[in-house]
Structure 1
Amino acid sequence: MDINIITIIIIGANALASFKGFNDYAFFEKYKFSIGAITRGEKIRMITSGFLHVNPQHLFFNMFSLYFFAPVVVAELGNAKFIIIYLGSLLIGNILSYYFHKNEYHYTAVGASGAVMGIIYSAILLQPGMSLYLFFIPIPIPSYIFGVGYLLYSIYGMKAKADNIGHDAHFGGAIGGYVFTLLFATYLFKTNVTMILVLAIPIVLLFVLKRLGKI
């Protein structure tokens, strides 16, 4: 699979910042996502936290996912729009996370998952006919089923609050990828309205549940 220089730079930036954080506690603490710090005015953490990871396995999983899906977005939309989707999804993921946890002063998080989920959702919109092979499922899964299923699982995770996964950041990233892609590829409204509606289902469901106080 071809990988372009922009994707390599993003992966490199994540690796450099993450390994610095693995070995430098003060650096990690200074730039991680923290409700308390952001509330005090340290808004830069909304971006910097997306380049830090908990451990090498966390870093590898996110960068491997980016490596797989990035070429689809780059090929369809070009480097500049790919960067906007990546950084925009990262930011929207953290904004949604802040919205859901704003009263939890000690809540913290790190990881590129929101940005990567934005790229994944973008790729699914652009190439809904893709099939994915997941590690634990030996048959190909249509990409749109994966996308909808993953967001439904994220809603469950946000309701259950039974793990330390930033489900809200993942969800916000997917929203970013969805919105930016539709802004950049308006032709999709003519060629793939059904898929646009299908992928919108979990997004609408999240905000309905939030309004009803279920999350």
Structure 2
Amino acid sequence: MSLSLSAALVIFVITIATSLLGLFANPKLIDRCLFRPYWFLRRRQYDTFVLSGFVHADLMHLIFNMLTFYFFGFLLERAIGSTHFLLLYAAGLVISHLGTYFKHKKNPEYATLGASGAISAILFAAIVLFPDQKLFIIPIPVPIPAPLFAIGYLAYTWYAARNPRGRINHDAHLGGAITGLVYVALLAPSAYGYFFANLF
């Protein structure tokens, strides 16, 4: 597969470009893309179900998500192909937003953004397929096993969801994680045998 045709590369570039544009040049873009469960049906803001996944709350939010995407997204696309990669990414985004919708649909003040649900789906699907994958994160001096990273990732988001700040949708991580795990179970159920065999 040519890099120029990589779905992961397209998503990666568009997400970074759109987020930086909204953060530093046109804040109205971020406001336009916010997912607001209360207003989703009332004002027919259907496109925000997708658009909110291409903007971020701040630079650290963007960097964290894009580093996770970089370490796991391109690897996963090479393994399952661009079509399945796009389907999984879209499913992670939509399913994680469904949970947010039902949790906050009566709160007119709630608004959220970020690709967390979609990236969580990619992360957990990749970890099942490549349990021996390791990654380096500055300033940690040793490689981190992918399953351990996933546990830390969920632990952080569990804490952050109970101590919310700004408009980052930490609740979306769990929905995305489940989506990724189920997608692999449907696409390549035998991968779980390899995963558990190589987990320890």
Q: TM-score range by the shorter chain?
A: 0.7 to 0.9
Give the deviation of 1:123 after TM superposition: 0.8
Tell me the distance in 2 between the aligned counterparts of 1:195 and 1:163: 37
2:88 partner amino acid:
I
Aligned to 1:28: 30
Question: 1:108 is paired with a residue of what secondary structure?
Answer: coil
Give the deviation of 1:156 after TM superposition: 3.0
Deviations 1:158-185 (A, max 9, x none): 3x33433421012222122111122111
Give the deviation of 1:157 after TM superposition: 2.8
CA contact (8 A) 1:85 1:181 kept: no
Tell me the distance in 1 between the aligned counterparts of 2:33 and 2:159: 28
* Structure 1 range deviating more: 107-116 or 2-11: 2-11
1:47 partner amino acid:
V
1:55-74 map, 5 Å: 55-74=58-77
Give the deviation of 1:195 after TM superposition: 8.1
CA contact (8 A) 1:97 1:172 kept: no
Aligned to 1:115: 118
Give the deviation of 1:194 after TM superposition: 6.8
Tell me the distance in 2 between the aligned counterparts of 1:57 and 1:161: 17
Aligned to 2:99: 96
**Structure 1 moving runs of 4+ over 4 Å:** 193-196
1:10 partner amino acid:
I
**TM-score of the two chains, using structure 2 as the length reference:** 0.83
Aligned to 2:157: 154
2:84 partner amino acid:
K
Aligned length: 195
CA contact (8 A) 2:89 2:121 kept: yes
Tell me the distance in 1 between the aligned counterparts of 2:170 and 2:58: 18
**TM-score of the two chains, using structure 1 as the length reference:** 0.78
Aligned to 1:182: 185
1:32 partner amino acid:
L
Aligned to 2:50: 47
Aligned to 1:17: 18
Give the deviation of 1:58 after TM superposition: 2.9
Give the deviation of 1:27 after TM superposition: 2.9
Pair 1:153–1:63, CA change in 2 (3 A): closer
* Structure 1 range deviating more: 80-89 or 135-144: 135-144
CA contact (8 A) 1:34 1:107 kept: yes
Question: 1:88 is paired with a residue of what secondary structure?
Answer: helix
2:190 partner amino acid:
Y
Identical-residue share of aligned pairs (%):
31
Pair 1:140–1:115, CA change in 2 (3 A): same
